[in-house]
Amino acid sequence: MLLNSHSFLLVFLPVVVALYWLTPHGRPRLVLLVGASLFFYGLWDWRYVPLLLTTTLVDWVAGRLLAGSTAEGASRRRKLVLAAALALNLAVLGYFKYRGFFVDQLDGVLYLLGMGRPLPTIRFILPVGISFYTFAGISYAVDMYRGQYPPARSVLHYLAWVTLFPYILAGPIIRYGHVGAQLESVPRRLSWALVASGLFFLVLGLAKKMLVADVMAPYVNELFAHPGRLGLWSAWAAALGYTLQLYFDFSGYSDMAVGVALLIGLRFPQNFDSPYKAVNPSDFWRRWHMSLSAWLRDYLFIPLGGSRGSTLLTVRNLLITFVLAGLWHGAAWTFVVWGLLWGVFQSVHVVAKKYGLTPGWTWLNRPLTFAAAVLAWVFFRATSVRAALKILASMVGLRGVSGEETLGVAPLFAAFIVGGLLWVNLLPNTWQITPRPRLRYAVLLGVLLAASLLALSKRSPFLYVQF
């Protein structure tokens, strides 16, 4: 089941929301929420529900042990528990997501050395949401070890947080500290304010996905499928098209997750803040996928040493952080290169800032930062590093202005690119708009909802579901 499907929007969500508010406050409501979330997750592939439950149970137990005594005698035990919890989560993620990739790389090395037959490998269907719920488990274990907040009152509270159906499939990465206390203090009754805000985020997010991202998707897919046939204009159309498609797709999902959460009385943090208005690489990552960037900062970059040491050590930490961020998105060299590029961009910015070489002109910094994002997204989307390099070669004119171009740019696609660029640069984002109880707002949302529902004629997963 998808958040952008008739079954979710017209059946599952209304039924769950109605039952949720009709169910007595407290434990019965949590039981309903967990049951609905597991049912929602199981519709993707019920075979991976036991995996989710097992890792969840282990992480909850680890959290209880880590939240125990901090006396000197318990220090060693707590470190061992933390190490075991981290090892388990990373092992599960590595086995299902990266085993095939690393076996393939080892096969390649053995082939070059003339040694033996290919190693046997097992291919799995990637458990949906595994990258997100393993990161949740890691953050919980570390936070319990640091004593940042009390542990979950029960395994039911913990399970409700991990499996929440608004974000279990594709994020955002919601930490227990964001939601844990809310699960115990959800309003007893659904207010009109929650309904209005929830529907506002839900409908706008759905419209971003169905009326913008999905309209652009076929054109983007066609261009990226033929990297060797692109000329200057079609290569730029492919890169800009995907840059906009990914933003409207993922920010649309994040908005929908916020809206659905509001309908059950929960408030999620913002995940996008007009990232294409960023004026430098650091600013971009403060605005793009904010839950992931905060996670990488708090659980990877800072533990590595952050920016506390020399400039060289800061650069090292940035490169490690972003290469691993790239690998988190997928087991492919394209993601590694994407992460490495952002590590380089961040490092250049840090060095330039230290020596006073950063220009103070927004009119220049914004387009330069946007160009860096577009360049990196080519590797993120391309089917291989070689394909990405072909597209970049066309973008810089190495194949000529027209060159070998055999794929044209449809007028509708071009219009969406221009309109999308104007949207992300001139208009406020969803969080900057205050919904008001006025007729024109209701009419606008009604029109957007009707148009979006009419566009739900085919299966169209959100892009981040695959990660």
In the chain (467 residues long), the average pLDDT of successive 10-residue segments reads: 88 95 91 95 88 92 82 76 94 86 72 65 72 92 90 91 89 87 82 89 95 95 92 93 97 95 93 96 96 95 92 95 94 95 96 85 90 97 96 87 65 94 95 79 88 81 75
d(CA 71, CA 50): 35
- The pLDDT, as a whole number, for residue 4 is 87
Burial classification of residue 341, based on how many CB atoms lie within 10 Å of its CB (0-12 exposed, 13-18 middle, 19 or more buried): buried
pLDDT given at position 31: 94
For the stretch 362-366, contacts whose Cβ atoms lie closer than 8 Å and that sit 24 or more positions apart, written own/partner, are: 362/279, 365/279, 365/280, 366/277, 366/278, 366/279
What per-residue string of b and e applies to 39-57 under the rule 16 or more CB within 10 Å gives b? ebbeebeeebbeebeebbe
Residue 355 is predicted with a pLDDT of 85
- The Cβ of residue 16 has, within 10 Å, a number of other Cβ atoms equal to 22
Q: What is the pTM of this model?
A: 0.92
Query: Looking at residue 327, what is its pLDDT?
Result: 92
User: Tokens 């109605």 belong to which residue?
Assistant: 18
Q: Are 33 and 164 in contact (CB under 8 A)?
A: yes
With vertex at residue 188, the alpha carbon angle to CA 184 and CA 193, rounded to the nearest 5 degrees, is: 110
What confidence score (pLDDT) does residue 101 get?
Answer: 76
Catalytic site includes residue 349: no
Q: Give me the pLDDT at residue 120, please.
A: 62
For residue 145, what are the CA distances in angstroms to 39, 63, 153, 291? 32, 8, 16, 21
Q: Which residues touch 346 (CB under 8 Å, ≥6 apart)?
A: 281, 282, 285, 318, 322
Answer yes or no: are the C-beta atoms of 394 and 406 closer than 8 Å.
no
Helix (H, G, I), strand (E, B) or coil at 148: coil
- Nearest 10 degrees: CA dihedral of 406, 412, 417, 418? 120
pLDDT score recorded for residue 169: 82
Dist. CA 255–CA 239, nearest whole Å? 24
Residue 151 sits at the vertex; the CA angle it makes with 149 and 155, to the nearest 5 degrees, is 155
What is the Cα–Cα distance from 336 to 262, expressed in whole angstroms? 36
Dig out the tokens for 398 from the structure. 């190495």
In terms of Cβ atoms closer than 10 Å to its own Cβ (0-12, 13-18, 19+), residue 378 is buried
List the one residue out of 124, 139, 61 whose CA is nearest residue 94: 124
- Long-range CB pairs of 27-35, under 8 A, 24+ apart, other chains included: 27/156, 29/186, 30/156, 30/157, 30/160, 30/183, 31/156, 33/160, 33/164, 33/264, 34/156, 34/159, 34/160, 34/163
Among residues 178, 226, 289, 329, which one is catalytic? 329
**DSSP-derived secondary structure letter, 45:** -
Query: What tokens appear for 72 in the block?
Result: 């000197």
Contact 33, 160 (CB under 8 A): yes
For residue 465, the model assigns a pLDDT of 74
Cα angle for residues 325, 131, 206 (degrees, 5° grid): 95
Q: Would you state the pLDDT for residue 401?
A: 66
The H or E element containing residue 40 is helix 27-42
344-350 long-range Cβ contacts below 8 angstroms, 24+ apart: 344/319, 345/281, 345/372, 345/376, 346/281, 346/282, 346/285, 346/318, 346/322, 347/314, 347/315, 347/318, 347/319, 348/281, 349/280, 349/281, 349/282, 350/282, 350/307, 350/311, 350/314, 350/315, 350/318
Give pLDDT, residue 2: 82
Neighbouring residues of 433: CB distance < 8 A, sequence distance ≥ 6: 200
Q: Is the peptide bond before 172 cis (omega within 30 degrees of 0)?
A: yes
Model pLDDT, residue 30: 93
